[in-house]
Amino acid sequence: MNVAITVWGNLISPVFDSAQTLLIAEVEGDDIIDRRIERMDGAMFNRVLELLESLEVDVLICGALSMGTAALLEAVRIEVIPFISGDAEEILSLYVNGEDLADFTMPGCPRRRCCRGRRCSPGQQGIGRYLKN
């Protein structure tokens, strides 16, 4: 599985559309077996989508993201975990180990709803399934 995280320095980039760098991690089970940095232009979504598909990204962890962009990513089977902030390596490690990401949600992200306003159940896409209620 390949996990992509939008990064700005060591932190998750606060806004997907202005992100210029992706941390790509190849994950097997609960081990990160490879990681690399890729350049991107978040403002040119078609190119970003092509890049994510060419890198065979399964999961995208990012900061703020519009509903439309999230829907397009999910339509090509990229699981989106938006509205996350903090140290990218720490969050990657937590994600890989199946840990709770609630302490890393951006201000205003309610715990019992995913970031697009609907209630989340364990099978739905979105941050809600990663947050312990």
Q: What is the CATH number of the domain that holds 23?
A: 3.30.420.130
DSSP 43-83: T-HHHHHHHHHHTT--EEE-SB--HHHHHHHHHTT-EEE-S
The residue range of the domain holding 113 is: 2-130
Distance CA 16, CA 21 (A): 10
52-to-8, 93, 110 alpha-carbon distances in Å: 18, 20, 28
Please tell me which residue, 25 or 133, carries the higher pLDDT value. Answer: 25
Q: At what angle do helices 45-54 and 67-75 cross, to 10 degrees?
A: 30
Q: Cβ atoms within 10 A of the Cβ of 101, count?
A: 19
Distance CA 123, CA 35 (A): 28
Domain count, the chain: 1
Using 50, 70 and 90 to split pLDDT, how confident is the model at 110?
Answer: low
2-56: per-residue pLDDT in tens?
Answer: 999 999 999 999 999 889 999 999 999 989 999 999 999 877 888 999 999 999 9
Residue 69 corresponds to which tokens in the numbers above? 């962009």
- The yes-or-no verdict on residue 118 having pLDDT over 60 is no
pTM of the model as a whole = 0.82
Residue 80 corresponds to which tokens in the numbers above? 């989106």
